[in-house]
């Protein structure tokens, strides 16, 4: 009988919602190893302030890899204050071409309160359609739920929280202990 694979980290749902002049990024707190919940209160959404400009970033994937990418993004933003898209493109280029960075397994959702972007290791910097982006194991569930609420009178934060609750009900690698940041 085959043994379950325990060397793969799963988990995380991160959502970004832009509505009504606000951008919200929310993330769950669960970190799993195989079928075991290792931590339920991880903070996968962070506020950065490079060059005095607030940026919020949420990450899915390896924590150490994500922190490496966040440090690099902060350095890019320090060099290009107030230029989130340009700094994100520069990070994505480095991530795709640098032999060390290519091995990093994470994805980021970032915002400066005006733009909402997804950054991937494939060299992508994507501005999502419909002002909603989601990544991670429960990302598709959260994305679908949020898209269904975008035409309602709900605020960006309410949509993010409700979409995350729906994802947590469906995805076993997602919990309801949220970190929410708004710009």
Residue-range domains of the chain with CATH: 9-182 (3.60.20.10)
- pLDDT for the residue 89: 96
User: Which letter does DSSP use for residue 43 in this model?
Assistant: -
pLDDT of 118 above 60: yes
Average pLDDT for 17-40: 93
Express each pLDDT in 52-84 by its tens digit: 789 999 999 888 888 899 999 999 999 999 999
Is 12 one of the annotated active-site residues of the chain? yes
Given this model, what pLDDT does residue 79 score? Answer: 93
Residue 120 parent element (H or E):
none
Q: Please state, rounded to an integer, the average pLDDT across all residues of the chain.
A: 90
Handedness of CA 140, 144, 150, 153 (dihedral sign): negative
- What is the model's pLDDT at position 44? 94
Q: Which member of 8, 12, 36, 111 is catalytic?
A: 12
Residue 161 host element (H or E): helix 156-170
**Does 168 score more than 50 pLDDT?**
yes
**Angle between the N-to-C axes of helices 139-149 and 156-170, in degrees from 0 to 180, rounded to the nearest 10:** 140
Q: Look at residue 2 and tell me whether its pLDDT is greater than 70.
A: no
- Evaluate if pTM is beyond 0.85: yes
Question: For 145-167, how does the pLDDT look when each residue is reduced to its tens digit (9 = 90+)?
Answer: 999 999 999 999 999 999 999 99
Beta strands in 20-137 (DSSP E): 22-27, 31-33, 36-39, 45-48, 55-61, 106-111, 116-119, 125-126, 132-136
Beta bridge partners of 108: 59, 119
What pLDDT sits at residue 6? 39
Percent of the chain predicted with pLDDT > 70? 94
pLDDT at 110 over 90: yes
What pLDDT does residue 8 have? Answer: 42
Q: What is the mean pLDDT of residues 88-103?
A: 88
Give 10's pLDDT tier (boundaries 50, 70, 90).
low
Averaged pLDDT for residues 120-142: 94
């Amino acid at each position: 009988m085959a043994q379950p694979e325990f060397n793969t980290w799963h988990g995380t749902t991160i959502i970004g919602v832009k509505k009504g002049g606000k951008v919200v990024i929310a993330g769950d707190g669960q970190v799993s190893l195989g079928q075991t919940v290792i931590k339920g209160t991880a903070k996968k959404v962070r506020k950065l302030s490079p060059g005095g400009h607030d940026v919020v970033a949420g990450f899915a994937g390896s924590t150490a890899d994500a922190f490496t990418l966040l440090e690099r993004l902060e350095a890019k933003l320090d060099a290009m204050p107030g230029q989130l898209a340009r700094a994100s493109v520069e990070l994505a280029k480095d991530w795709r071409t640098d032999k060390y960075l290519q091995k990093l397994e994470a994805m980021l959702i970032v915002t400066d309160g005006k733009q909402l972007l997804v950054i991937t290791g494939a060299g992508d910097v994507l501005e999502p359609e419909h002002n909603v982006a989601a990544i991670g194991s429960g990302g598709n569930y959260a994305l679908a739920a949020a898209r269904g609420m975008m035409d309602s009178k709900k605020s960006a934060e309410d949509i993010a929280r409700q979409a995350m609750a729906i994802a947590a009900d469906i995805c076993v690698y997602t919990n309801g202990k949220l970190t929410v940041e708004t710009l």
